[in-house]
Chains A and B, each alone.
Chain A
């Protein structure tokens, strides 16, 4: 028993208070995640209607829009990395960054240079620590992103994309790396190409009732497309931000639950050791007393003799 009983007790107490903190964080994440999911659901109608409108225009007119045009010889790619602002969410941010690095490697193999755009303090810190350049970063909203932030990011990315090749700050492709929220247990880092847009129909083929009617376009198909596509891009970014927020909270909840469980285990172990130490102390005291009494008795017996 190298460490005294008192020290064990202190250690148990500090573990207990730590457990209270992680438990609180777990509960907070759990309640926020419901809100985050609701927000994602509320944003769904807009995304759905917009997608419908875009595919309507794409179906009935020959789409040739700067945002859908593939550059013949792409040289630069922009990558938007969406991470969290705060840590204590397990491997959440690092796995997004890892996925981004994988994408970057692939793009470099294709002979493209990369302009980084970052969302979330964790990504910013990662780049600053390594003194790597990035074009722009946005922070301070990762667990409840608003549409305005998405609009701002979208504007920056679209502006960069629309510049002519050779111009300062021009990119020929835009990729987004974010964490897709599959379920409370599974969140996967995902990389998608945002621009140039590929107008694809929904994942499941539309039923008969969903066949698109013959629309009239006002003022003209191309102008409608002009207005639609940037909003479509922004809504995709917004969607990614919302997914990332839900994933972040789920990851944090999981990490904090694991931490709470660990603290529980640690407390149990420490209590056991502390009890042992206490018992050992008592045993020692008893044997000392018994030893003392025996010695006294022996001494008295010797004196009586």
Chain B
């Protein structure tokens, strides 16, 4: 917590509503806010921003590993070299089944226009698919 504030590395916590999904030190965090993509490095100015339903990438400190996760909106808060990504639902790329996410996307597309939830679900499913594809397709495949 506070005692880590002065440490060198960027301490990142991916926190979903019911658990901490991932936590550790990172070199860089890339996330998409409602205003556009941001990359957070060490000594970033304190920021609190709204996230879009999209992919969050964390480059793990001292390795080539990248942690990829899909978030469902939420927040990014940066202060004293501590980054918290808060979202109701967070799924790590490794845990996402592409087929399941694609089926969900199709289902949500079918509902489009009938209710407001559909658009949210589409964006969420798209983010999950992107996250899953990044993990399986990218050369920076992560293992954690």
- A109: Cβ under 8 A from any B Cβ: no
CB distance from B88 to the nearest CB of A (A): 7
Say yes or no: is A3 at the interface (Cβ < 8 Å to chain B).
Answer: no
B16 contact set on A, CB distance < 8 A = 46
CB distance from A242 to the nearest CB of B (A): 9
User: Is the beta-carbon distance between A227 and B50 smaller than 8 angstroms?
Assistant: yes
Q: What chain B residues lie within 8 Å of A228 (beta carbons)?
A: 75
Contact of A53 among B20, B33, B77 (CB under 8 A): B77
B49 close to chain A: CB less than 8 A: yes
Q: What residues on B are CB-neighbors of A223 within 8 Å?
A: 34, 50
Query: How many A-B contacts are there with CB distance less than 8 Å?
Result: 86
Q: List residues 35-62 of chain A with CB under 8 A from any CB of chain B.
A: 39, 42-43, 45-46, 49-50, 52-53, 56-57
Given A57-B48, A147-B88, A210-B2, A42:B18 Cβ within 8 A:
yes
Chain B residues positioned under 8 Å from A43 (CB to CB): 17-19
> Complex formed: what's the CA distance from A115 to B16 in Å?
31
Residues 40-62 of chain B: 1 if any A CB is under 8 Å from the residue's CB, otherwise 0?
A: 00000111111000000000000
From 167 to 215 in chain A, residues with beta carbon under 8 angstroms from any chain B beta carbon are 207, 209-210, 212-215
Nearest chain A CB to B86's CB is how many angstroms away?
5
Any chain A CB within 8 A of the CB of B5? yes
Q: Is A5 an interface residue (CB 8 A)?
A: no
Please tell me if the beta carbons of B15 and A213 are within 8 angstroms of each other in the complex: no
Q: By the criterion CB–CB under 8 Å, are B88 and A231 in contact?
A: yes
CA distance A151 to B117 in the complex (A): 13
Give residues in A with beta carbon < 8 Å to B.
39, 42-43, 45-46, 49-50, 52-53, 56-57, 146-147, 150-151, 207, 209-210, 212-219, 223-224, 227-228, 231, 234-235, 238
Apart from A217-B49, A227-B75: 15 A-B pairs, beta carbons within 8 A: A39-B18, A42-B19, A46-B18, A49-B77, A49-B84, A52-B77, A56-B48, A57-B48, A147-B88, A151-B88, A207-B2, A212-B79, A213-B79, A219-B49, A238-B17
